Amino acid sequence: MNKDFRNEKSNTIKYIYKEIAKTHCSSKPHSLGNVKRKTIELIHLIRRTICPQLSQDDKIDGLESLSKTIKILERLIRDILPHVNEEEVSKITTEFLNELPAVAKKLVLDVRAAYEGDPAAQSIEEIMIAYPAYEA
């Protein structure tokens, strides 16, 4: 009887796993850690594109950062949304990139407001480097 129970339990676990594997979240085997790492890299590249003066890598300029941003963004879209075709990947990427100038303007406004509100701040770059709100 104990053996039958273990077999039934094992079969149930296998069935549940197969059902979960059919869902969108796990339809394509990939490492979520890789998605997280690539997302962090994407954010750093976007920051480097918007504010190249803060880059720790003088060899990479804003244009090169933007080019790398596009490649990583497209890869992330493919990994996260495996059902999306290349035309849709391109469309999503373009829509995302079209929002970057507005994001950059808002960041500049936020940084200037923080700078003007902090009499101890020496420069706008100091705000960008030292303020946690800018990092967020």
Cα(97)–Cα(62) distance, integer angstroms: 14
Residue 1 has pLDDT above 70, yes or no: no
Q: Which has the minimum average pLDDT: 7-11, 23-27, 102-106, 108-112?
A: 23-27
Question: Tokens representing 127?
Answer: 């705000």
pLDDT, position 32: 60
Average pLDDT of the chain to the nearest whole number: 80
Residue 29 has pLDDT above 70, yes or no: no
CA geometry: angle at 44 spanning 40 and 50, to 5°?
145
Cα(46)–Cα(69) distance, integer angstroms: 7
- CATH assignment of 31-135, among 1.10.3130.10, 3.40.10.10, 1.10.260.40, 1.10.3720.10: 1.10.3130.10
Residue 48 has pLDDT above 60, yes or no: yes
Q: What percent of the chain has pLDDT over 70?
A: 78
Query: What is the reported pTM?
Result: 0.65
**Confidence class of residue 135 from pLDDT cuts 50, 70 and 90?**
low
